């Protein structure tokens, strides 16, 4: 400021020099020292420090004490010099170029006063007011206020403080009768919305118009977002229209604002169509309407849930149409929206296909069919129709009246592990060619052929088997299911039981062997063996009896048997033949001592006390022996304490049994009964172990354990 003033003064001096008024200038210098004339003062009217361009300013030269005299005036700058007789100069409309320092002097007669001090005038461009809204939060929410609230619109002029302003207001292009700097609106209505601007005036000049500040009035009508179609569950690929509806706002030219903002184009339409919905379109939508200076509230959120494309599901209450009947097919789309029962809420129609071709122009979710075929369905809804994925196909067969029969070959009710068996499906009647299907609950499934041959059965083949036939010429025609047939495969190997009759040989009599398997009727044939002692293996080997191979009869008769012998049997059946285990050996005993091998007992008596030492000795022209016992409970055992050909026994009750010798070369001795006393204190009958030949004498006696022998108790003869 000071700098520009100095600059201007320099300019005046310089211009004086250039203009060439050298005389006045030298005179000035001389008269500056003269104190007698007064010094004028330059005043400004109005006296504001800040004058806006366009305002009127009067510059006046006042000479103290000089009133009444006839003065002429000279000004610096010189532009004010005309007319020089007036002491004031009026600048009707200031411009910024009027800024500067002003001074004057007066002349009376021929003498000049001194120059006044410089008074500076500052002209600036008029300020631009600002319209603000109170309360201030309306400012933050971009001028949004609810109708009924109170708002104050204020005009602020920066740097205009202290001056006496009058104001002019406009809302849009309409002037408002208001001249103060505040415009207070109590209970705002829709008509108060608009763009407010103001300007100020002091003295005669106006400021510029302020920028427009918009006041929006929200009316409490709340729009609603709707989805078209209104299904809450939408699948990706469907078309959805999101619509903003303003109740009571029909007919008005609303524009719409959406959140998320992606729907904002075009904003003049109340609805937005999402042609091919994707899962990313799912989410909440809200809208509001705007209309000039009106704004509705935000609507409530509507949530659009977009799921991936569903697949229809087809269910059949039966996969075979009974003779003369029908089957009900049900098509559904899951997850079905809200109530799956009413198709109207989910909007689905159903489209049916049979063998790949459109079937029946019905759109029900349930149909009844009596034709066989490969059925599928899908759902569709909307406009254009949006289709679900096709359901899996369901095969529906029609039933013909033939009924198959399952047979087992061989037809044994119980089968053993390793046997060979064939399960066969037989359809009688007609010369139709069939394909076969099996249904079984066994662990191993039957192949879909007319027969299932099990070469080596196991319990995994056990189960119920049923079959049906499908016509080779018409694949959707089948027979009914056959009755189920149960196949039971036992993992146990059967062991037959052999009985021998009689046990003790009587001269000339025949011996009958009988072999029993658990299920006697099931096609068994029998094998008959003689036991041959095998001392090295501590067992026996078996030698097939003459004509003893695979007899159909379960008994075998041996004629003229004279010696002690052991027998074994087993059974077999099927092709290839399956064999049971060998039976336990059974014996027929001879009491005849005149054989190649014999057994002597010491002491030579049938009955013995407990804890007696009894020795049994094998005799005959053989080197190796074993003594065998067949106890009362049917167990076969070998003597454990052999010394050479003698078996020593310290008797106990369990030693009661039949004893005989077997030689290493397969000879059987005669057999003897040995009884061990079971009543500790009673007497025993002392009688020889071997039968007595007719006519020979025999001595019998009774004995007590304490006393070696005592006279014969009685003799029965």
Distance CA 585, CA 564 (A): 13
Q: Kindly state the helix (H) or strand (E) to which residue 358 belongs, with its residue range.
A: strand 357-358
Nearest CA-CA partner of 330 in 342, 347, 313, 318: 313
Tokens 């001194």 belong to 114
> Quick one: 134 or 407, whose CB is closer to ligand NAG?
407
User: Contact between 422 and ligand NAG (CB under 6 A)?
Assistant: no
Distance CA 438, CA 424 (A): 10
> Quick one: 63 or 314, whose CB is closer to ligand NAG?
314
Q: How far is the CB of 203 from ligand NAG (least distance, A)?
A: 13
Classify residue 226 by burial, with Cβ atoms within 10 Å: 0-12, 13-18, 19+: middle
Contact at 8 Å (CB) between 547 and 558? no
Angle at 364 between CA 363 and CA 369, to 5 degrees: 105
Q: How far is the CB of 536 from ligand NAG (least distance, A)?
A: 20
Q: Kindly state the helix (H) or strand (E) to which residue 673 belongs, with its residue range.
A: strand 672-676
Stretch of 159-167, 239-247, 442-450, 679-687 contacting ligand NAG, by CB under 6 A: 442-450
Q: How far is the CB of 102 from ligand NAG (least distance, A)?
A: 17
End-to-end alpha-carbon separation of the chain, Å? 175
User: What are the Cα distances from residue 614, in Å, to 591, 639, 674?
Assistant: 19, 12, 10
Candidates 591, 636, 685, 700; binder of ligand NAG (CB under 6 A) is: 591
Stretch of 178-186, 319-327, 368-376, 441-449 contacting ligand NAG, by CB under 6 A: 441-449
Coil vs helix vs strand at 264: helix
User: What are the Cα distances from residue 144, in Å, to 122, 194, 245, 353, 560?
Assistant: 41, 11, 21, 59, 131
Q: Kindly state the helix (H) or strand (E) to which residue 647 belongs, with its residue range.
A: strand 646-650
Candidates 90, 273, 315, 453; binder of ligand NAG (CB under 6 A) is: 90
User: Contact between 486 and ligand NAG (CB under 6 A)?
Assistant: no
Distance CA 107, CA 199 (A): 45
The contact pattern for ligand NAG, residues 676-695, with x = CB under 6 A and - = no contact, is ---------------x----
Strands 477-479, 394-400: pairing is parallel
For the chain, the residue count is 717
User: Contact between 520 and ligand NAG (CB under 6 A)?
Assistant: no
DSSP string, 436-465: EEEEE-SSSPPPSSSEEEESS--GGG-EEE
> Quick one: 564 or 580, whose CB is closer to ligand NAG?
564
> Quick one: 203 or 673, whose CB is closer to ligand NAG?
673
Q: How far is the CB of 331 from ligand NAG (least distance, A)?
A: 22
Candidates 124, 301, 411, 637; binder of ligand NAG (CB under 6 A) is: 411
Tokens 């061989």 belong to 410
> Quick one: 258 or 375, whose CB is closer to ligand NAG?
375
Candidates 192, 257, 419, 437; binder of ligand NAG (CB under 6 A) is: 437
Q: How far is the CB of 196 from ligand NAG (least distance, A)?
A: 34
Q: How far is the CB of 573 from ligand NAG (least distance, A)?
A: 13
Contact at 8 Å (CB) between 396 and 315? no
581-615 per-residue burial string, b: 16 or more CB within 10 A, e: under 16: ebbebbbbbbebbeeebbbbbeeebbbbbeebebe
Coil vs helix vs strand at 202: strand
Q: How far is the CB of 556 from ligand NAG (least distance, A)?
A: 22
Candidates 26, 224, 276, 448; binder of ligand NAG (CB under 6 A) is: 448
The contact pattern for ligand NAG, residues 650-679, with x = CB under 6 A and - = no contact, is x---------------------xx------
Candidates 621, 643, 681, 716; binder of ligand NAG (CB under 6 A) is: 621
Stretch of 145-153, 227-235, 440-448, 507-515 contacting ligand NAG, by CB under 6 A: 440-448
> Quick one: 55 or 437, whose CB is closer to ligand NAG?
437
> Quick one: 545 or 614, whose CB is closer to ligand NAG?
614
Site for ligand NAG in 111-130 (CB under 6 A): none
Distance CA 489, CA 412 (A): 10
Candidates 10, 135, 325, 447; binder of ligand NAG (CB under 6 A) is: 447
3-state secondary structure 24-42: HHHHHHHHCCCCCCCCCEE
User: Contact between 484 and ligand NAG (CB under 6 A)?
Assistant: no
Candidates 490, 504, 579, 702; binder of ligand NAG (CB under 6 A) is: 504
Stretch of 34-42, 46-54, 64-72, 445-453 contacting ligand NAG, by CB under 6 A: 445-453
Q: How many CB atoms lie within 10 A of CB 565?
A: 20
Region at 379 (left for phi over 0; alpha for psi -120 to 50; beta for the rest): beta
The DSSP call for residue 551 is: B
User: Contact between 562 and ligand NAG (CB under 6 A)?
Assistant: no
Q: How far is the CB of 596 from ligand NAG (least distance, A)?
A: 9
Q: How many CB atoms lie within 10 A of CB 454?
A: 20
> Quick one: 168 or 437, whose CB is closer to ligand NAG?
437
Q: How many amino acids of this chain bind ligand NAG (CB under 6 A)? A: 17
Stretch of 259-267, 326-334, 367-375, 444-452 contacting ligand NAG, by CB under 6 A: 444-452
Distance CA 89, CA 79 (A): 10
Candidates 92, 366, 422, 456; binder of ligand NAG (CB under 6 A) is: 92
459: cis peptide before it, omega within 30°?
A: no
Q: How far is the CB of 308 from ligand NAG (least distance, A)?
A: 30
User: Contact between 481 and ligand NAG (CB under 6 A)?
Assistant: no
Q: How far is the CB of 439 from ligand NAG (least distance, A)?
A: 8
The contact pattern for ligand NAG, residues 379-408, with x = CB under 6 A and - = no contact, is ------------------------------
Q: How many CB atoms lie within 10 A of CB 549?
A: 13
Q: How far is the CB of 610 from ligand NAG (least distance, A)?
A: 8
User: Contact between 501 and ligand NAG (CB under 6 A)?
Assistant: no
**Token duo for residue 336:** 């079905």
Distance CA 172, CA 91 (A): 35
Candidates 366, 611, 654, 678; binder of ligand NAG (CB under 6 A) is: 611
Coil vs helix vs strand at 715: coil
> Quick one: 49 or 521, whose CB is closer to ligand NAG?
521
Distance CA 61, CA 83 (A): 13
Contact at 8 Å (CB) between 75 and 89? yes
Candidates 308, 366, 562, 613; binder of ligand NAG (CB under 6 A) is: 613
Tokens 């269910």 belong to 315
Q: How far is the CB of 461 from ligand NAG (least distance, A)?
A: 14
> Quick one: 460 or 611, whose CB is closer to ligand NAG?
611
Contacts with ligand NAG by CB under 6 A lie at 90, 92, 411, 413, 437, 445, 447-448, 504, 591, 611, 613, 621, 650, 672-673, 691
């Amino acid at each position: 400021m000071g700098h520009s003033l100095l600059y201007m003064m320099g300019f005046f001096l310089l211009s004086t020099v250039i203009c060439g008024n050298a005389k006045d200038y030298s005179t000035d210098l001389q008269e500056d020292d003269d104190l007698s004339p007064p010094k004028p003062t330059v005043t400004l009217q109005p006296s504001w420090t800040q004058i806006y361009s366009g305002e009127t300013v009067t510059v006046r030269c006042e000479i103290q004490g000089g009133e009444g005299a006839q003065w002429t005036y000279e000004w610096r700058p010189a532009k004010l010099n005309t007319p020089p007789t007036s002491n004031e100069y009026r600048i009707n409309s200031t411009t910024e170029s009027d800024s500067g320092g002003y001074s004057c002097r007066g002349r009376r007669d021929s003498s000049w006063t001194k120059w006044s001090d410089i008074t500076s005038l500052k002209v600036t461009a008029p300020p631009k007011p600002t319209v603000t809204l109170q309360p201030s939060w309306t400012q933050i929410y971009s001028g949004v206020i609810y109708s009924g609230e109170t708002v104050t619109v204020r005009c602020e002029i920066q740097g205009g403080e202290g001056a006496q302003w009058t104001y002019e207001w406009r809302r849009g292009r309409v002037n408002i009768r208001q001249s103060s700097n505040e415009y207070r609106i109590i209970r705002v209505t829709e008509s108060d919305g608009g763009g407010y601007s103001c300007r100020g005036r002091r003295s005669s000049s106006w400021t510029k118009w302020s920028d427009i500040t918009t006041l929006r009035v929200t009316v409490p009508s709340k729009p609603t977002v709707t989805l078209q179609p209104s299904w809450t569950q939408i699948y990706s690929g469907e078309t959805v229209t999101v619509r903003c509806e303003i109740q009571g706002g029909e007919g008005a030219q609303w524009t719409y604002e959406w959140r998320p903002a992606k729907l904002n184009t075009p904003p003049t339409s109340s609805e937005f169509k999402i042609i091919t919905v994707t899962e990313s379109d799912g989410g909440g939508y809200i809208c509001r309407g705007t209309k000039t200076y009106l704004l509705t509230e935000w609507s409530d959120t509507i949530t659009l849930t977009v799921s991936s494309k569903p697949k229809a599901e087809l269910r059949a209450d039966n996969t075979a149409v009974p003779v003369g009947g029908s089957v009900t097919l049900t098509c559904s789309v899951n997850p079905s929206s809200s109530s799956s029962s009413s198709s109207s809420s989910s909007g689905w129609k159903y489209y049916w296909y049979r063998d790949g071709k459109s079937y029946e122009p019905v759109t029900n979710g349930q149909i009844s069919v009596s034709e066989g075929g490969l059925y599928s369905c899908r759902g569709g809804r909307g406009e254009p129709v949006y289709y679900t994925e096709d359901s899996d196909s369901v095969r529906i067969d029609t039933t013909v009246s033939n009924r198959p029969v399952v047979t087992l070959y061989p037809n044994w009710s119980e089968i053993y592990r390793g046997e060979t068996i064939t399960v066969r499906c037989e359809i009688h009647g007609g010369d139709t060619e069939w394909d076969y299907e099996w249904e079984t609950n066994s662990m191993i499934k039957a192949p879909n052929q007319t027969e299932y041959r099990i070469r080596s059965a196991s319990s995994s083949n056990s189960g119920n088997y049923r079959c049906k036939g499908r016509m080779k010429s018409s694949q959707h025609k089948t027979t009914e299911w056959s009755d189920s047939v149960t196949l039971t495969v036992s993992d146990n190997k059967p062991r037959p039981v052999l009985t021998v009759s009689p046990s003790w040989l009587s001269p000339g009599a025949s011996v009958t062997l009988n072999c029993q398997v658990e299920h006697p009727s099931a096609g068994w044939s029998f094998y008959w063996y003689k036991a041959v002692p095998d001392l090295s293996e501590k067992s026996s080997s078996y030698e097939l009896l003459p004509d003893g191979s695979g007899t159909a009869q379960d008994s075998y008769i041996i004629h003229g048997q004279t010696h002690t012998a052991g027998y074994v049997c087993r059974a077999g059946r099927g092709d290839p033949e399956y064999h049971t285990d060998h039976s336990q050996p059974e014996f027929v005993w001879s009491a005849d001592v005149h054989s190649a091998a014999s057994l002597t007992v010491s002491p030579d008596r049938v009955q013995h006390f407990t804890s007696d030492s009894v020795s049994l000795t094998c005799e005959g022209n053989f080197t190796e022996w074993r003594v065998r016992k067949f106890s009362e409970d049917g167990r076969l055992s070998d003597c454990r304490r052999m010394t050479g050909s003698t078996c020593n026994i310290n008797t106990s009750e369990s030693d009661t049994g039949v004893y005989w010798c077997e030689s290493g070369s397969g000879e059987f001795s005669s057999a003897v009964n040995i009884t061990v006393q079971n009543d500790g204190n009673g007497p025993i009958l002392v009688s020889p172990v071997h039968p007595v030949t007719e006519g020979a004498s025999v001595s019998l006696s009774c004995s007590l354990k304490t006393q070696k022998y005592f006279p014969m108790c009685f003799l029965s003869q």
